[in-house]
């Protein structure tokens, strides 16, 4: 077997780049002219090397010493397998998103298959990251620009996001750049060391959920066909998306159980049916109290055209299976020859219900609102350019989600162990249950005041002892 000889390494590496300004013998020979002769080349130098794939490459440096240093560093990185192809970092962040995002969604392009976290991350990219950094190439991203961008997002600086949302938005960009580093497109992550805004702790009173008396006042300000929705929310702790996607086939009247198996989501304003709730912990069975079972039985009796059929999420919304829906509407385009049209069940939209909820809490007199001026980016319809406009953002209390907090505080007050509360609410971690729910339910100031006014010497301050009572009956 004849062994091929390895190509001979060039001895003139780095080599001078011929220049019409240099007066060295090689340059004068290449470009004759009236220039003062010099012994050494005064122009740039070309450093040539072979990359990991065997491709010949070159890099121009202004001086011989810099070209030699570059060659030594590059050859060392190639031997140590740490060399990064500069061309891989020349794509824009938007191009990297198109390559990176399928790795986060397991290659699925169907929005219905995405988790709530993935839907949130995609929205963060589309609304906040892409308008600022989408056209920037990876190797051009710098720590300073990222830090200034994070600062501009915070609502205390007039940005559109609260501190917690700024953190979630930054985490999307940080994961993108960290994975670009793993993919050997950039040598380091420019987002490292970026300081995030401090999430200010809320006063205990601001964390306290609404009382059931306040929820009663709110319920009577909602349209009548939403009364049962709020009652079931405060009796089961279900999320709005779980209530909107609840189907009669998941309601077990005999066992007084609700099986949470799917939700309705609204990616980009379109209602979709999702087979699995927020997380694996969301797949759970929730007990029905006597009041919850009563309102559902009454609702079932008033829905003669409702169906308990079990359908697959791929079959569509199947509105006749939904427990809760808007008032029956006429399908657009179905009116013909002056007829009344074809009525149908309209799935609940969070945005539409939120408008009713805000009006209800204002009319009930239990509202607390905070108005902030923020800057948001909008796309001009005529020019297509993104411009920043100033608007107002209002934070409302209580939110519909606070019914879950009220339900959990009720369980804590009845002595239900925290681990069971966690299972019923569908939480993967109990940290939120421990702080928000437990502290919201405990009136420590009232307990101290009662102990001080009791007048008994040596009286111990201890919370009232309660027995564990079942929240459901089989």
- pLDDT above 90 coverage of the chain, percent: 42
Which helix (DSSP H) or strand (DSSP E) does residue 225 occupy? none
Residue 337: the pLDDT is 40
The better pLDDT of the pair 339, 263 is held by 263
Burial of 243: CB neighbours in 10 Å, binned 0-12, 13-18, 19+: buried
8 Å CB contact between 341 and 330: yes
8 Å CB contact between 292 and 235: yes
Residue 346: the pLDDT is 84
Q: What share of the chain is helix, strand, coil (3-state, %, to 5)?
A: 45, 15, 40
- Fold designation for 89-182: DNA polymerase; domain 1 (1.10.150)
The answer to whether residue 10 scores a pLDDT higher than 60 is no
Tell me 18's DSSP state: P
- pLDDT above 70 coverage of the chain, percent: 80
Question: Over the stretch 410-450, which tens digit does the pLDDT of each residue have?
Answer: 888 888 888 888 888 887 665 555 555 555 555 555 556 66
The answer to whether residue 369 scores a pLDDT higher than 90 is no
Which CATH entry fits the domain spanning 208-324+344-366+401-474: 3.20.20.70, 1.20.1300.10, 3.40.47.10, 1.10.443.10?
Answer: 1.10.443.10
The better pLDDT of the pair 207, 466 is held by 207
Other Cβ atoms less than 10 A from the Cβ of 185: the count is 21
Q: Indicate the average pLDDT of the chain.
A: 83
Residue 459: the pLDDT is 47
Mean pLDDT across 20-31: 89
The answer to whether residue 174 scores a pLDDT higher than 60 is yes
Record the tokens describing residue 425, joined without a space. 């609410």
Q: How confident is the model at residue 220 (pLDDT cuts 50, 70, 90)?
A: very high
Ranges of each domain in the chain: 17-83, 89-182, 208-324+344-366+401-474
Residue 467: the pLDDT is 46
Tell me 17's DSSP state: P
Q: How confident is the model at residue 332 (pLDDT cuts 50, 70, 90)?
A: low
Distance between CA 207 and CA 416 in Å, rounded? 20
Distance between CA 369 and CA 158 in Å, rounded? 18
Question: Over the stretch 87-142, which tens digit does the pLDDT of each residue have?
Answer: 888 999 999 999 999 999 888 888 877 888 898 999 999 999 999 999 999 999 99
The answer to whether residue 255 scores a pLDDT higher than 80 is yes
Other Cβ atoms less than 10 A from the Cβ of 26: the count is 14
Question: Over the stretch 275-304, which tens digit does the pLDDT of each residue have?
Answer: 876 556 557 889 999 999 999 999 999 888
Q: How confident is the model at residue 55 (pLDDT cuts 50, 70, 90)?
A: confident
Residue 340: the pLDDT is 53
Mean pLDDT across 209-237: 93
The answer to whether residue 3 scores a pLDDT higher than 60 is no
Other Cβ atoms less than 10 A from the Cβ of 136: the count is 14
Other Cβ atoms less than 10 A from the Cβ of 365: the count is 10
Question: Over the stretch 371-415, which tens digit does the pLDDT of each residue have?
Answer: 888 777 666 666 767 677 777 878 888 999 999 989 988 888 888
Q: How confident is the model at residue 190 (pLDDT cuts 50, 70, 90)?
A: very high
Mean pLDDT across 192-207: 83
Each as own residue / partner, the long-range contacts of residues 225-229 (CB below 8 Å, 24 or more positions apart, any chain) are 225/326, 225/327, 226/353, 226/356, 227/295, 228/295, 228/296, 228/298, 228/299, 228/324, 229/324
The answer to whether residue 33 scores a pLDDT higher than 70 is yes
Q: How confident is the model at residue 144 (pLDDT cuts 50, 70, 90)?
A: very high
Mean pLDDT across 49-74: 89
264 forms beta bridges with: 273
Collapsed DSSP state (helix, strand, coil) of residue 16: strand
The better pLDDT of the pair 207, 218 is held by 218
Mean pLDDT across 162-171: 94
Phi, psi of 357 (to 5 degrees): -65, -45
């Amino acid at each position: 077997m004849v062994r091929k000889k390895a190509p001979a390494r060039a001895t003139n590496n780095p080599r001078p780049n011929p220049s019409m300004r240099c007066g060295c013998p090689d340059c004068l020979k290449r470009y004759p002219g009236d220039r003062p002769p010099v012994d050494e080349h005064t122009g740039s130098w070309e450093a040539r090397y072979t990359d990991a794939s065997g491709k010949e490459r070159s890099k121009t440096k202004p001086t011989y010493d810099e070209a030699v240093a570059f060659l030594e560093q590059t050859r060392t990185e190639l031997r140590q397998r740490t060399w990064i192809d500069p061309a891989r970092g020349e794509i824009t962040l938007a191009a990297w998103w198109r390559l990176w995002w399928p790795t986060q969604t397991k290659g699925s392009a169907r929005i219905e298959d995405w988790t709530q976290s993935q839907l949130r991350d995609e929205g963060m990219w589309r609304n906040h990251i892409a308008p600022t950094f989408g056209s920037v190439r990876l190797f051009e991203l710098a720590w300073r620009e990222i830090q200034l961008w994070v600062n501009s997002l915070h609502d205390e600086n007039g940005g559109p996001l609260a501190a917690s949302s700024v953190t979630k938005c930054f985490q999307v960009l940080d994961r993108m750049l960290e994975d670009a580093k793993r993919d050997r497109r950039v040598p380091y992550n420019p987002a490292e060391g970026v300081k995030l805004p401090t999430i200010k702790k809320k006063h205990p009173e601001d964390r306290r959920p609404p009382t059931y008396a306040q929820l009663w006042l709110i319920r009577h300000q909602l349209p009548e066909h939403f009364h049962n929705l709020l009652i079931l929310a405060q009796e089961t702790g279900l999320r709005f998306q779980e209530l909107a996607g609840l189907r009669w086939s998941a309601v077990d009247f005999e066992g007084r159980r609700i099986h949470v198996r799917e939700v309705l989501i609204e990616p980009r304003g379109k209602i979709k049916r999702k087979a699995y709730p927020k997380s694996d912990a969301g797949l759970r069975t929730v007990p029905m109290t006597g009041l919850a079972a009563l309102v559902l039985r009454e609702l079932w009796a008033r829905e003669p055209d409702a169906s308990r059929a079990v359908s697959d999420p791929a079959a569509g919304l199947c509105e006749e299976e939904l427990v809760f829906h808007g008032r029956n509407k006429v399908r657009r385009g179905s009116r013909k020859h002056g007829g009344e049209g074809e009525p149908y069940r309209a799935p609940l939209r969070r945005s539409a219900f939120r408008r009713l909820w805000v009006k209800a809490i204002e009319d009930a007199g239990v509202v607390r609102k905070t108005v902030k001026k923020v800057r948001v980016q909008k796309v001009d319809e005529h020019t297509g350019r993104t411009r920043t406009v100033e608007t107002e953002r209002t934070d409302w209390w209580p939110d519909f989600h606070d019914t879950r907090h009220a339900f959990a505080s009720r369980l804590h007050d009845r002595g239900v162990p925290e681990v069971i509360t966690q299972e019923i609410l569908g939480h993967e971690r109990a940290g939120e249950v421990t702080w928000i729910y437990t502290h919201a339910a405990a009136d420590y100031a009232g307990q101290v005041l009662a102990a001080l006014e009791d007048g008994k010497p040596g009286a111990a301050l201890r919370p009232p002892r309660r027995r564990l009572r079942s929240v459901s009956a089989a």
